[in-house]
């Protein structure tokens, strides 16, 4: 599913003393099957943007189109389009409420009017997709699971609605390194197996560079940069001036270069960075 | 969304004379104002109260529209009270339909009650809009402290109020977040009949309770980590002191109250 955002603006508490502009004339298109990462400083409008993409917030100006359908309309097609844009919030485990894991994952499809059998089939498939064994954990209370498992179940709750676009707002916040890796590997696997369009919000530049085909940079409610990781992360100074950074390998190469080692700084993964450094040392 | 309309208990930043008054003065003032609304016996009295209140609102710099939003939450209560008074007051009937009848006295009482309620809400929201919640509860604690001699736990009461007030916005935020997350899963909080709506609240209330317990446990831990052990011997960061402004306010208050009593004794409409 292709998502098109046209001149989107959103102003909080318009006409109140607390008025603040969260988004200003943001226009972007995410093609079907693309894996895009959204990066930006805290308060740059990332979350606000995401909430517009599945109709949770109504834009002050502008529109959001999903395969050409304006998702803020009140029609059936618009509701269907909103279902196809799955949104996983930060700390999604706080949304769990049912008696059992399986029932909780069924909540989404049930709301969209699927029969109980269909709901269960979808829930089981979604649980398998996130790596939770539905036979072993399906009947357990979601509150008895570990932190990482809770998060997976919550993500399964969104996947069970069969979205074509999956939006994840910092899905690894508060997890340990293993949990972090597991969740991102899972997102990658879902992207490949289900051919979903993925939008990932992240504060981790290494993840963004490693996973995404495309990086969207937000700054003070505006779209500051939009391009491949290579293009975006080559703007070292600009990224630093808006409170972001480049992937750690590139940061290291920049440091080496400033100390006099002649290296190419536009390298965004560790293996290539190591080769580049070795080459520079042995060549010198 | 309805959550944003709750202005009761929300501070409106500003630096007016009303904002600068000592919280104790404002508390006593508000109580006197609320009492005065019950002393009033005629519409002329209400007009006088309304003018005084309007002047205070003007001085405070809180926009009228912002204050009026607080009414939205209680509009049902006001309409209900007015209707009950309209139909239930005995007297000279001027309209009758089956068991429903309206008396002249009923119309009078209904208007009277509605005005009184609206003014009560405006009066008390002026206090909360111009006083920071912490200052408010500090003021309350100080006013109640003489009673601690006869065993009233004034510090504990004030602390409970502070915590309750402090967590209203937090819990509203939390509610908003959970609502959004469930809406993203297709939950519908706004349509359906009463039964369906009540059932629809479960996906909201269960996570909210879980959050509230988590927040409470975290807060208790943080307070204990900083050796909180109740009110005995506790000092304050910001001491309270009456200023000239408070003296002026006190004199005006006495004059106001005297005027209200006087107006009540006159044979006015």
In which element (H, E) is residue A214 found?
Answer: strand A214-219
Q: What is the pLDDT of residue B208?
A: 93
Q: For the segment B175-201, what is each residue's pLDDT rounded down to a tens digit?
A: 989 999 998 888 888 777 888 888 888
Residues 6+ apart with CB under 8 A from B241: B22
Residues 6+ apart with CB under 8 A from A86: A54, A158, A159, A161, A163, A165, A166, A167, B184
Minimum CA–CA partner of B183 in chain A: A56
In which element (H, E) is residue A128 found?
Answer: helix A116-129
Average pLDDT on B249-259 reads: 92
Among B266, B263, B222, residue whose Cα is nearest residue B45: B263
Cβ within 8 Å of B, A 56-75: 56
Q: Does B186 contact A108 at a Cβ distance shorter than 8 Å?
A: yes
Mapping DSSP onto H, E and C, the string for chain B reads: CHHHHCCCCCCCCCCCHHHHCCHHHHHHHHHHHHHHHHHCCCHHHHHHHHHHHHHHHHHHCCCHHHHHHHHHCCHHHHHHHHHHHHHHCCCCEEEEECCEEEEHHHHHHHHHHHHHHHHHHHHHHHHHHHCCHHHHHHHHHHHHHHHHHHCCCHHHHHHHHHHHHHHHHHHHHHHHHHHHHHHHCCCCCCCCCHHHHHHHCHHHHHHHHHHHHHHHHHHHHHHHHCCCCCCCCCCCCCCCCCCHHHHHHHHHHHHHHHHHHHHHHCCCC
Does any CB of chain B come closer than 8 Å to the CB of residue A51?
A: yes
Q: What is the pLDDT of residue B269?
A: 64
The total of other beta-carbon atoms located within 10 Å of residue B98's CB is 5
Q: For the segment B115-125, what is each residue's pLDDT rounded down to a tens digit?
A: 999 999 899 88
Minimum CA–CA partner of B188 in chain A: A111
Q: What is the pLDDT of residue B6?
A: 54
Residue A253 three-state SS: helix
Residue A229 three-state SS: helix
Contact residues on chain A for B184, CB-CB shorter than 8 A:
54, 56, 86-87, 89, 158
Pairing verdict, β A197-201 and A165-169: parallel
Q: pLDDT at residue B4 above 90? A: no
User: Does B225 or B12 have the greater pLDDT score?
Assistant: B225
Which of the residues B1, B3, B183, B184 would you substitute to probe the A interface, choosing the one with the greatest number of A C-beta atoms within 10 Å?
B184
Does any CB of chain B come closer than 8 Å to the CB of residue A123?
A: no
Does any CB of chain B come closer than 8 Å to the CB of residue A16?
A: yes
Q: For the segment B34-59, what is each residue's pLDDT rounded down to a tens digit?
A: 999 998 888 888 899 999 999 999 99
Q: What is the pLDDT of residue B2?
A: 44
Minimum CA–CA partner of A89 in chain B: B181
d(CA A152, CA A187): 10
Cβ within 8 Å of A, B 197-216: 202-203, 206-207, 210-211
Q: Tell me the β-bridge partners of A92.
A: none
Contact residues on chain A for B66, CB-CB shorter than 8 A:
16
Q: What is the pLDDT of residue B9?
A: 55
- Mind telling me how many Å the CA of B206 is from chain A's nearest CA? 6
Q: Does A89 contact B210 at a Cβ distance shorter than 8 Å?
A: no
The mean pLDDT value of chain B amounts to: 85
Tens digit of pLDDT at every position of chain A (284 positions) = 889 999 999 988 777 767 788 899 999 999 999 999 999 988 888 989 999 998 888 899 999 998 888 988 888 888 888 889 999 998 988 889 999 999 999 999 998 889 999 999 999 999 999 999 999 999 999 999 988 899 999 999 999 999 999 999 999 988 889 989 999 999 999 999 989 999 999 989 999 999 999 999 999 899 999 999 999 999 999 999 998 989 999 999 999 999 988 888 888 888 888 998 998 888 75
Contact residues on chain A for B177, CB-CB shorter than 8 A:
89, 94
Minimum CA–CA partner of B211 in chain A: A94
> A151 near A183, Cβ under 8 Å?
yes
Contact residues on chain B for A143, CB-CB shorter than 8 A:
210
CATH numeric code, A1-84+163-229: 3.40.50.300
Q: What is the count of residue pairs from A and B with beta carbons less than 8 Å apart?
A: 52
Q: Which two tokens stand for residue A31?
A: 């093609």
Average pLDDT on B151-165 reads: 85
In which element (H, E) is residue A29 found?
Answer: strand A20-30
Nearest by CB: A89 against B181, B187, B203: B181
Does any CB of chain B come closer than 8 Å to the CB of residue A168?
A: no
Does any CB of chain B come closer than 8 Å to the CB of residue A92?
A: yes
Q: What is the pLDDT of residue B182?
A: 92
Q: How confident is the model at residue B107 (pLDDT cuts 50, 70, 90)?
A: confident
pTM for the model: 0.74
Minimum CA–CA partner of A105 in chain B: B185
Does any CB of chain A come closer than 8 Å to the CB of residue B182?
A: yes
- Mind telling me how many Å the CA of B106 is from chain A's nearest CA? 40
ipTM of the complex model? 0.85
Q: Does B207 contact A96 at a Cβ distance shorter than 8 Å?
A: yes
Q: pLDDT at residue B99 above 80? A: no
- Mind telling me how many Å the CA of A96 is from chain B's nearest CA? 6
Q: How confident is the model at residue B164 (pLDDT cuts 50, 70, 90)?
A: confident
């Amino acid at each position: 599913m292709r998502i098109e955002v046209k001149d989107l603006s959103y102003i909080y508490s318009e006409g109140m003393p607390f008025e603040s502009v969260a988004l200003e004339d943001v226009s972007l298109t995410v093609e079907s099957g693309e894996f895009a990462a959204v990066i930006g400083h805290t308060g740059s409008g990332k979350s606000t943007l995401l909430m517009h993409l599945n109709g949770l917030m109504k834009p002050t100006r502008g529109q959001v189109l999903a395969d050409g359908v304006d998702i803020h309309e009140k029609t059936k097609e618009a509701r269907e389009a909103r279902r196809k844009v799955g949104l996983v919030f930060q700390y999604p485990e706080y949304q769990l409420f049912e008696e059992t894991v399986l029932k909780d994952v069924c909540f989404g499809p049930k709301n969209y009017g699927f029969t109980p059998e269909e709901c269960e089939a979808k829930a089981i498939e979604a649980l398998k997709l996130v790596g939770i064994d539905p036979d072993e954990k399906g009947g357990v209370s979601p509150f008895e699971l570990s932190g990482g498992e809770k998060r997976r179940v919550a993500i399964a709750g969104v996947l069970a609605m069969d979205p074509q676009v999956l939006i994840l707002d910092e899905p690894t916040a508060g997890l340990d390194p293993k949990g972090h890796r597991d969740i991102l590997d899972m997102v990658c696997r879902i992207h490949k197996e289900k051919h979903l369009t993925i939008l990932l919000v992240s504060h981790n530049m290494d993840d963004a560079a490693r996973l995404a085909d495309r990086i969207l940079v937000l700054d003070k409610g505006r779209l500051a940069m939009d391009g491949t990781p290579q293009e975006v992360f080559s703007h070292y100074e600009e990224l630093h001036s808006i409170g972001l950074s480049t992937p750690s390998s590139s940061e290291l190469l920049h440091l080496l270069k400033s100390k006099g080692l002649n290296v190419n700084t536009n390298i965004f993964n560790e293996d290539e960075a190591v080769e580049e450094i070795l080459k520079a040392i042995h060549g010198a | 969304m309805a959550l944003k309309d709750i202005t009761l208990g929300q501070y409106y930043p500003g630096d007016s004379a009303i904002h600068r008054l000592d919280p104790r003065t404002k508390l006593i003032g508000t109580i006197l104002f609320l009492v005065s609304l019950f002393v009033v016996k005629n519409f002329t009295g209400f007009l006088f109260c309304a003018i005084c209140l309007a002047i205070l609102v003007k001085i405070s710099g809180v926009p009228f529209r912002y204050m009026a939003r607080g009414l939205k939450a209680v509009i049902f209560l006001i309409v209900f009270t007015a209707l009950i008074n309209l139909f239930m007051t005995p007297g000279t009937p001027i309209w009758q339909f089956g068991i429903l009848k309206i008396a002249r006295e009923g119309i009078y009482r209904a208007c009277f009650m509605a005005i009184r309620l609206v003014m009560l809400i405006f009066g008390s929201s002026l206090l909360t809009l111009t006083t920071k919640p912490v200052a408010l509860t500090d003021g309350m604690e100080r006013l109640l402290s003489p009673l601690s001699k006869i065993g009233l736990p004034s510090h504990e009461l004030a602390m409970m109020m502070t915590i309750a007030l402090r967590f209203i916005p937090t819990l509203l935020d939390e509610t908003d977040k959970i609502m959004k997350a469930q809406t993203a899963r297709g939950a519908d909080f706004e349509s359906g009949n009463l039964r369906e709506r009540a059932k629809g609240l479960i996906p909201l209330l269960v996570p909210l309770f879980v959050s509230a317990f988590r927040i409470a446990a975290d807060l208790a831990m943080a307070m204990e980590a900083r050796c909180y052990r109740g009110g005995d011997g506790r000092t304050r960061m910001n001491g309270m002191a009456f200023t000239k402004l408070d003296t002026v306010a006190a004199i005006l208050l006495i004059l106001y109250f005297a005027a209200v009593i006087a107006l009540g004794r006159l044979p006015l409409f």
